[in-house]
Amino acid sequence: MSQMFDNILLAHFRTLTGERKIQKGEFEIEDSISGSTLTRTSPWSQICKPGRKIDMSMIFKDIDKTSINCPRCDTLSKEKKGVQVEW
């Protein structure tokens, strides 16, 4: 992703839960309407467009893929397994 977008994320998450995930690049950004992934190599003009809304997901590599608990706080999800969950 553009360096500008990385800097915005780093500034936003400074001192917040998830800061290390941002520093390590363990996240994914996608267009909230189309669901298409916005790649880290995309120029800023391709990421930031008027009216665009984006979703961000943190990537947890070392957890059970069938877990329905939050990998950070262990909160039980009310959603089915295999669906995107907003914690």
Of 70 and 20, the structure prediction assigns the larger pLDDT to 20
- pTM check: above 0.85: no
Q: How many helices (H) and strands (E) does the chain have?
A: 3, 3
Residue range of the domain that includes 78: 1-87
Domain count of the chain? 1
Query: Which pLDDT tens digit goes with each residue over 1-44?
Result: 567 778 888 999 998 888 888 888 888 888 888 888 888 777 77
Residue 11 has a pLDDT of: 93
For the chain, state the CA radius of gyration.
14
Q: Can you give the pLDDT at residue 63?
A: 60
Q: For residue 85, is pLDDT > 80?
A: no
